[in-house]
Amino acid sequence: TGYITYDPGFVNTGAASSAITYIDGAEGILRYRGYPIEQLAQNSTFIEVSYLLIYGELPTRQQLDDFTSRINRHTLLHEDLKRFFDGFPRDAHPMPVLSSAVSALSTFYQDSLNPFDEPNVELSTIRLLAKVPTIAAYAYKKSTGQPFLYPDNSLGLVENFLRMTFGLPAEPYEVDPDVAKALDLLFILHADHEQNCSTSTVRLVGSSEANLFASISAGIMALFGPLHGGANSAVLEMLEGIKANGGDVNDFVNRVKNREEGVRLMGFGHRVYKNYDPRAKIIKQTADKILAKISGGDELLDIAKALEERALSDDYFVERKLYPNVDFYTGLIYRALGFPTKYFTVLFALGRLPGWIAHWREMIQDPATKIGRPRQIYTGEKERDYKPISER
Ligand code: CMC
Domain with CATH 1.10.580.10 in the chain: 18-225+342-365
**Whole-number Cα distances in Å, 249 to 258, 259, 308:** 14, 15, 9
Phi-psi region of 344 (alpha: psi -120 to 50; beta: other; left: phi over 0): alpha
Consecutive H or E run containing 30: strand 29-32
pLDDT tens readout for residues 269-324: 999 999 999 999 999 888 888 888 776 667 888 899 999 999 999 999 999 999 99
Any ligand 1 atom below 6 A from CB of 229: yes
Can you give the pTM of this predicted structure? 0.95
Q: Could you give the dihedral angle defined by the CA atoms of residues 311, 280, 223 and 53, in that order, rounded to the nearest 10 degrees? A: -160
Over the Cα atoms of the chain, what is R_g? 22
231 lines ligand 1 (CB under 6 A): yes
* Ligand 1 atom nearest to 320, measured from its CA: 21
Cβ–ligand 1 contact at 227 (below 6 Å): yes
Phi/psi for 235 (5° steps) reads -60, -45
Q: What is the 3-state secondary structure (H, E, C) of 262-292?
A: CCCCCCECCCCCCCCCHHHHHHHHHHHHHHH
Q: Which atom of ligand 1 is nearest to the CA of 230?
A: 52
Whether the CB of 256 sits within 6 Å of ligand 1: yes
CATH of domain 18-225+342-365: 1.10.580.10
What tens digit of pLDDT does each residue of 53-69 get? 999 999 999 999 999 99
What is the topology classification, in CATH, of domain 231-336? Answer: Cytochrome p450-Terp; domain 2 (1.10.230)
The residue whose CA has the least distance to atom 50 of ligand 1 is 228
Phi (first) and psi of residue 63, to 5 degrees: -65, -40
Q: DSSP letter for 64, please.
A: H
Domain span(s) for CATH 1.10.230.10 in the chain:
231-336
Pocket of ligand 1 contains residue 100 by CB under 6 Å: no
Kindly give the distance from the C-alpha atom of residue 262 to the centroid of ligand 1, in angstroms, as a whole number.
12
Name which residue sits closest to atom 28 of ligand 1, judged by CA.
271
Q: What is the rounded distance in angstroms from the CA atom of residue 45 to the CA atom of residue 61?
A: 13
From 268, 330, 348, mutation site for ligand 1 pocket: most ligand atoms within 8 A of C-beta: 268
Which residue's C-alpha comes closest to atom 8 of ligand 1? 269
Substitution candidate for ligand 1 out of 13, 200, 259, 270 with most atoms within 8 A of CB: 270
Please state the three-class secondary structure of 190-228 as a single string. HCCCCCCHHHHHHHHHHCCCCCHHHHHHHHHHHHHCCCC
Task: Say how far apart CA 376 and CA 371 lie, in whole Å.
Answer: 16
Ligand 1 pocket member 323 (CB < 6 A): no
Name the residue of 265, 283, 330 whose CB sits within 8 Å of the most ligand 1 atoms, as the mutation to test its pocket. Answer: 265
CA–CA distance, 207 with 63 (Å, rounded to integer): 30
**268 CB under 6 A from ligand 1?**
yes
The phi, psi pair for 44, rounded to 5°, reads: -100, -175
**Residue 255 CB–ligand 1 contact under 6 Å:** no
CB 188 near ligand 1, within 6 Å: no
- Average pLDDT score, the chain: 94
Catalytic residue positions? 270, 327
In ligand 1, which atom is closest to the CA atom of 325? 48
Residues in the chain with pLDDT < 50?
Answer: none
The rounded distance, in Å, linking the Cα atoms of 236 and 264 is 13
